[in-house]
């Protein structure tokens, strides 16, 4: 064992912001805006504000639906690529305040989140296909930072500011080179408790939008991975030693094994977020009302993401009425009931008696970094210890699923780790219900 390497790896630990973010576990994305009313995914910025016209905007309903599912926080698309703003901004008339329903949606959602005990986050697209200054370098950065200033000062405490790396042409056929560090400074100044996600230094993209996770999900990864999403062109501009290392992207299968990290100079704690939509699209489309993911599929995504050392960001798009569609609401309530039925009672808590199990949940104390590299779970069955599960990484949480067994005892063995490792939680659970699909 390379003690120097191990010491380096376990010296990397999360910030308090990252710990609080990971503890949320299950969060929601709310894609709502101009595209909802044009039945598109990406608008081009030429849409008239008069097109936006929800008949019954009800952010309380959104939050109740989220609570029913067990969701603890949500992110609203305050501005998508079309540049249409769901908030009261002084810097463009391309907003809800110049529509037939001049209601500040972010303000309404902020109040609803407080009422229902949810945390609020915002998405502000750096790509703006409407704004004339887009592509004009500092002039657009001034515009974008002014809107960031509004969002980070007018709507209370934010848990996350979410960016993607979309960087196409604007209405003037020019591209903008984003001043990310300047954007981060605005957020750190006004919302120091918030994580900056995806094209940001605190939370990384899992690498797909299908709800897929890696068998081994590491939070300790090369620091240069932070550039993978935010740089439109990764071509080498100067003589930089990092370009002589292997290329790295968010889609790589192995981001944090000892082998991968052995030659890395700088490491960081960069946990993963799984973003996936409950429907095929990200915005609401009537034709998808019968294409909502099944409870079985949603539960599988939940268990693989929350139970795979990641946070689940499930997109739930409100419809043209300004409500979450009834079909989505029913499915989310079913999901919440299913999760509660499985995970509300730890069968290993207290004096052990014979139990029927098909899930074990393990948690590391991530304040001491992520250390476990391989483990196995054994169960006492008919007087013999039998291996019922083998795994690699654990991290914040690992949900281990296996065939149903009736056990007289359970023990977990750490087979490989980066120095001394231990679990801060071990729980046993049984799912006896059949999914309604």
Q: What would the pLDDT profile of 248-293 be if each residue is shown by its tens digit? A: 788 899 999 999 999 999 999 999 999 999 999 999 999 999 999 9
The confidence band for 105, taking pLDDT boundaries of 50, 70 and 90, is very high
> Is the CATH number of domain 355-429 2.60.120.260?
yes
Beta bridge partners of 274: 312
Q: Positive or negative CA dihedral for 226, 222, 374, 424?
A: negative
Backbone angles phi, psi at 219, to 5 degrees: -95, -20
Q: How far apart are CA 193 and CA 182, in angstroms?
A: 17
Would you state the pLDDT for residue 340? 97
pLDDT in tens, 181-202: 999 999 999 999 999 999 999 9
Q: Two tokens at 291? A: 């294409």
Q: Which residues make up the CATH 3.20.20.80 domain(s) of the chain?
A: 3-343
Q: Which residue has the tokens 């009672």?
A: 345
| Residue 203 CB coordination number (10 Å) | 22
- pTM of the complete model: 0.94
Tally Cβ neighbours within 10 Å of residue 253.
10
Token representation of residue 348: 């290993």
CATH T-level assignment (fold) for domain 3-343: TIM Barrel (3.20.20)
Instruction: Tell me where in the chain the CATH 2.60.120.260 domain(s) lie.
Output: 355-429
Q: Which residue is it, tokens 């654990």? A: 394
- pLDDT given at position 170: 63
For range 104-132, the mean pLDDT = 97
3-class secondary structure, 404? strand
């Amino acid at each position: 064992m390379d003690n120097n390497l191990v010491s380096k790896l376990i010296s990397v630990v999360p910030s308090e912001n990252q710990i609080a973010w990971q503890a949320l576990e299950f969060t929601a994305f709310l894609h709502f805006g101009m595209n909802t009313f044009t039945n598109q995914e990406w608008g081009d910025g030429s849409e008239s504000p008069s097109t936006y016209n929800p008949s019954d905007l009800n952010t309380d309903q959104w939050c109740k639906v989220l609570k029913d599912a067990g969701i603890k926080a949500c992110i609203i698309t305050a501005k998508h690529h079309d540049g249409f703003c769901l908030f009261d901004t002084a810097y463009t008339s391309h907003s809800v305040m110049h529509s037939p329903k001049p209601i500040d949606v972010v303000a309404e959602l902020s109040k609803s989140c407080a009422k229902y005990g949810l945390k609020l986050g915002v998405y502000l697209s750096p790509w703006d296909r409407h704004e004339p200054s887009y592509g004009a370098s500092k002039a657009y950065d001034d515009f974008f930072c002014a809107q960031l200033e509004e969002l980070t000062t007018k709507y209370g405490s934010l848990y996350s500011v979410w960016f993607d790396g979309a960087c196409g042409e604007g209405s003037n056929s020019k591209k903008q080179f984003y001043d990310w560090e300047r954007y981060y400074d605005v957020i750190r100044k006004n919302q120091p408790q918030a994580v900056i996600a995806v094209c940001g230094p605190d939370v990384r993209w899992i690498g797909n939008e299908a709800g897929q996770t890696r068998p081994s999900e590491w939070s300790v990864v090369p620091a240069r991975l932070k550039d993978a999403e935010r740089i439109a062109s990764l071509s080498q501009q100067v003589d930089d030693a990092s370009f002589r290392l292997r290329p790295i992207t968010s889609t790589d299968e192995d981001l944090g094994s000892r082998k991968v990290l052995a030659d890395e100079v700088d490491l960081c704690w960069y946990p993963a977020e799984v973003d996936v939509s409950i429907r095929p699209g990200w915005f609401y489309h009537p034709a998808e009302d019968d294409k909502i993911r099944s409870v079985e599929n949603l539960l599988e995504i939940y268990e693989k993401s929350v139970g795979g050392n990641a946070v689940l960001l499930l997109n739930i798009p409100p419809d043209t009425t300004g409500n979450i569609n009834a079909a989505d609401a029913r499915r989310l309530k079913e999901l919440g009931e299913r999760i509660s039925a499985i995970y509300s009672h730890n069968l290993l808590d207290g004096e052990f008696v014979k139990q029927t199990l098909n899930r074990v949940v393990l948690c590391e104390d991530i304040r001491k970094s992520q250390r476990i590299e391989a483990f196995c779970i054994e169960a006492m069955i008919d007087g013999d210890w039998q291996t019922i599960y083998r795994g690699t990484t654990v991290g914040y949480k690992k949900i281990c699923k296996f065939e149903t067994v009736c056990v007289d005892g359970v023990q977990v063995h750490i087979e490989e780790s980066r120095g001394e490792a231990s679990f801060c939680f071990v729980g046993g659970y049984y799912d006896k219900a059949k999914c309604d699909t």
